[in-house]
Structure 1
Amino acid sequence: MAGRPLIGVSTYLETGVRWGVWELDAVLLPVGYPRLVQRAGGLAALLPPDDPERAAAVLAPLDGLVIAGGPDVEPERYGAPRDPRTGPPAPERDAWELALIGAALAARKPLLGICRGMQLLNVALGGTLVQHVDGHAEVAGVFGSHPVEPVPGTRYAGIVPEKATVPTYHHQAVDRLGRGVIPSAHAADGTVEAIELPAADGWVLGVQWHPETGGDLRVMEALVRAAATAA
């Protein structure tokens, strides 16, 4: 692809990470994310957590944005008491990624939320989350899989029109949909597996699964195409 679009991907901020002889705080991202961007025809740029006030400036040179998976969203962000099964908070990452999402929506930059990224997109638009669901992360640290069914007429259905088996690892899910949010795929148990905004609001899609661990490039290719067009 000539003029490959530049896609920013949000990252983890972890303390006391060991590698080699070092034990240091580190910015991390599973390699599957940048590799998926690259395989889909884009250039990947990793975005470490920063001051939320700088989100628009960080986003300005980018053609598209991916909010990566990761820890549970702090329930206070959507006005809910903490369920004891909800994981430890990541307040710096919540604040930074919410600012990135807001900046991307305001600038109409193509945006893809993956797992936590989809949940945070829904929260950013005033929605809520179910803090625990069974059956979508059965073995700790091991990705599972299950089929998802697209909703006809949605952007996601235009990308993946058939029922598809996807790699999954999550124990939370979308509950009340945010402003303007459209569900665009479901699991067999009714869990919302993809969300999007109307085309009039730009290219915005969230998927509950982890395309970076699988071989299907279509969702990321669609983001890259949208980013190339926007650029």
Structure 2
Amino acid sequence: MDDNVISDAVVKDVARRLLPELGAAGLSPDAVAGDGGFARTAVEAVFPHRDDLLTALVIDAYDTSGAAMEQADRAAAEAGASAGARLLAVTRALRAWSFAHPGEFTLIYGSPVPGYHAPQDTVLPASRTPAVLAGIVRAALEAGELTPPRRALRGTPLLLPAAVELFGGVPEAPFSDVIERGIVLWSNLIGLLVFQVFSRTHDSVKDEAAFFDYAVAVAAESIGLEVPLEGGTTD
């Protein structure tokens, strides 16, 4: 390989291979160059700083995981699935991606990397996951598939304008807090994946795939959505 000519895709492939071993904090031009067998200057010609490389990896991780969810949702919707079945399909897709890419999952959902601050470029890719969830909740609301909540949100509104815009506006009562409930669902999903990817449940749950489906169904109850589980689970 020409020491002075290398593509960003090659650099990112090497960096992704190193993520499970070194962690994001351990990535450096030297580490990538050494593992890939090319000069450090070749790496720096593509990604001048470590943070440039991390940002590229973060964007790719959000994009590929979001794309997996979007593909699963399209397939489920085209098959005429209910909103609850669509939710199960997209969360299973994110779970499959997370286990297949633990280094990248840790990069975007694990502990912050010391000294790294994600730039604005990462915001749009990061929104793909909540956008899929929001689309399913909106579809459920429009199809009359949501059950009104027993507890209504009281007091000062809790949302930033961007969250309202992503959902398409605040629904009327009794579903006026469905966006807040959707954010709870989203955070529960990521927390569940953190527990499973980092093996926090392996000593208490005998079937983690089945438990994942059950947990998603329980979390979905908070927005009044029924997730069908009779179809079984997938690894």
Scaled by the length of structure 2, what TM-score is found?
Answer: 0.28
Larger helix percent: 2
Larger strand percent: 1
Larger radius of gyration, structure 1 or 2? 2
